[in-house]
């Protein structure tokens, strides 16, 4: 994990994305970075580029918000944390909080839970026999002075081997040499109750990573092309997964798309096919849902389960397939509408990209439940079928918005 360097104090603190971009470029694959944000960002135009790099390098981005502004609608990079499987610490205090997370080992994501109640007794954590240590990270907006965390399996009760971080709003625990099986989370904070987000991960020698591809009928750019996070709802795609631990004999694999908030299953599970020539698993995905989702991977009849850090968003849609007439010198006009379903104003960044070289970006500010119509001009690149993908993200981390063709 790359921690935000002290030299950043000499930089413009409002260049949140510039600082993240500089760090993520020099960060190794399959790792994470922590970035401190002291002022609202004024360089969000780098967001899409950062997400592309983070997706390709499988990097998580944790945002530590150290700011005097109390409003939550300013952009501190929280959308990056949400999409990459990172954490957004809204109440980080640079002078008081010491964030200590083991940086030397790659972690595998088991689960992400949002807005859970501390009085709940139905949070179950499945640990497989490839996991050596289990890490629990709690994030809350409530002030907690005292809390006890334990895991229970039958009559066996475990306390954490170590408390990695103990701050008012963020706490992380490690359970070393944990036995495999299903464990129940026990939280004791009486008489105080609180809500929290929870990231569950483990240290494991079993690592897998996936990339998403689509079949391209474009005659200029034929074959499979990689879509870095840009899955298109109601369309098909290929998920190609590679695992790097030969000591684990993987006999079968399946993939399920699960809801971002509750982890509920969206649609059918997909059985993967092993390609021995390239030593990888190929999953044919159909009917991509409109909800934001993560991939849940199951190996060896669900004995090993993993969750993708990367979140795939529903706002990435295929606007239309266009047959370009090469005898015409006119550009192709693509009309679209952006709809903000939120009960508050949001700032939205839109990126329009085709399979070739065309890309443009636009920024909008929409009031509550408002729409805005606009268009782009696509320049002809030859006799081809072309796919136009409109990608939208918002500065506040809300996802209740959409874009569609007119």
Same domain, 213 and 299: yes
Write out pLDDT tens, residues 28-48: 988 899 899 998 888 877 787
Q: Evaluate whether residue 77 is within a structural domain.
A: yes
Instruction: Let me know whether 155 and 223 are in one domain.
Output: no
Domain assignment of residue 197, yes or no: yes
- 11 and 71 assigned to the same domain: yes
Whether the per-residue pLDDT at 331 is higher than 70: the answer is no
- Judgement on whether residues 142 and 160 belong to the same structural domain of the protein: yes
Specify if 78 maps to a domain.
yes
Q: Could you tell me if residue 179 is inside a domain?
A: yes
Residues 329, 298 share a domain = no
Q: Please tell me whether residues 213 and 296 are part of one structural domain.
A: yes
**What is the pLDDT at residue 9?**
40
Within-domain flag for 23: yes
pLDDT in tens, 18-27: 999 899 989 9
Using alpha carbons, select from 203, 206, 216, 229 the residue that is nearest to residue 57. 229
Domain with 257 in it: 208-305
**pTM across the whole model:** 0.76
| Residue range 146-204, pLDDT digits in tens | 889 999 999 999 999 999 888 888 999 999 999 999 999 999 887 788 899 999 999 99
Together in a domain, 10 and 61: yes
Residue 118 is encoded by which pair of tokens?
A: 């501390």
The pLDDT value given to residue 393: 58
Going by pLDDT thresholds of 50, 70 and 90, the confidence category of residue 387 is low
Domain boundary among 147, 176, 204: 204
Q: Is the pLDDT of residue 63 over 60?
A: yes
Burial of 305 (0-12, 13-18, 19+ CB in 10 A): middle
Are 212 and 296 members of one domain?
A: yes
Percent of the chain with pLDDT over 70: 74
Is 162 found in the same domain as 121?
A: yes
301 and 213 in one domain? yes
CA distances (Å), 102 to each of 62, 147, 172, 193, 202, in order? 14, 22, 11, 29, 11
Determine phi and psi for 2, rounding to 5 degrees: -100, 120
Reported as a pLDDT band with limits 50, 70 and 90, residue 353 is low
Q: Give the pLDDT of residue 126.
A: 94
- Contacts for 286-292: CB closer than 8 Å, 24+ residues apart: 286/236, 287/234, 287/236, 288/231, 288/232, 288/233, 288/234, 288/235, 288/236, 288/237, 288/257, 288/312, 289/233, 289/257, 289/314, 290/233, 290/234, 290/314, 291/259, 291/260, 291/266, 292/259, 292/260, 292/399
Domain assignment present for 310: no
On whether residue 218 sits in a domain, the answer given is: yes
- Confidence band for 381, pLDDT divided at 50, 70 and 90: low
- The percentage of the chain sitting over the pLDDT mark of 90, rounded to a whole number, equals 34
Whole-number mean pLDDT of the chain? Answer: 79
CATH of residue 273's domain is: 2.60.40
Total of domains in the chain: 4
- The rounded distance, in Å, linking the Cα atoms of 345 and 368 is 5
Q: Does residue 111 form part of some domain?
A: yes
């Amino acid at each position: 994990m790359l921690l935000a360097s002290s030299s950043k104090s000499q930089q413009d603190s409002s260049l949140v994305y510039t600082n993240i971009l500089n760090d993520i470029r020099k960060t190794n694959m399959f790792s994470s970075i922590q970035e401190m944000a002291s002022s609202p960002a004024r360089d969000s135009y780098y967001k899409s580029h950062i997400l592309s790099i983070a997706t390709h390098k499988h990097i998580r981005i944790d945002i530590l918000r150290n700011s005097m502004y109390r409003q939550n609608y300013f952009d501190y990079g929280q959308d990056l944390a949400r999409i990459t499987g990172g954490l957004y610490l809204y109440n980080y205090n640079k002078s008081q909080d010491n964030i200590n997370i083991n940086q030397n080992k790659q972690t595998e994501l088991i689960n992400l839970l949002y807005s859970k109640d501390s009085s709940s007794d139905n949070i179950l954590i499945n640990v497989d026999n490839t996991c050596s240590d289990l890490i629990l990270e709690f994030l809350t907006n409530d002030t907690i002075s005292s809390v006890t965390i334990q895991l229970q399996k039958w009559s066996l009760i475990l306390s954490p081997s170590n408390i990695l971080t103990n701050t008012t709003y963020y706490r992380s625990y490690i359970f070393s040499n944990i036995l495999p099986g299903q464990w129940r989370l026990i939280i004791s904070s009486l008489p105080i109750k609180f809500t929290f987000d929870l990231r569950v991960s483990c240290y494991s020698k079993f690592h897998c990573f996936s990339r998403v591809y689509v079949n391209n009928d474009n005659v200029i750019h034929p074959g499979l092309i990689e879509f870095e996070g840009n899955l298109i709802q109601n369309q098909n795609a290929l998920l190609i997964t590679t695992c790097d631990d030969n000591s684990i004999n993987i006999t079968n694999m399946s993939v399920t798309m699960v809801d971002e908030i509750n982890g509920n299953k969206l649609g059918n599970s997909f059985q993967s096919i092993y390609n021995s020539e390239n030593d990888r698993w190929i999953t044919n995905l159909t009917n991509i849902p409109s909800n934001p989702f993560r991939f849940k991977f199951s190996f060896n009849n669900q004995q090993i389960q993993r969750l993708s850090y990367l979140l795939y968003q529903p706002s990435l849609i295929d606007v239309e397939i266009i047959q370009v007439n090469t005898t015409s010198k006119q550009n192709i006009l693509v009309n679209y509408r952006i709809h903000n379903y939120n009960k508050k104003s949001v700032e939205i960044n839109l990126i329009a990209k085709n399979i070739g070289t065309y890309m443009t970006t636009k920024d909008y500010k929409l009031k509550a439940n408002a729409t805005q119509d606009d268009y782009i001009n696509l320049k002809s690149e030859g006799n081809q079928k072309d796919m136009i993908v409109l990608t939208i993200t918002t500065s506040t981390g809300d996802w209740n918005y959409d874009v569609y063709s007119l």
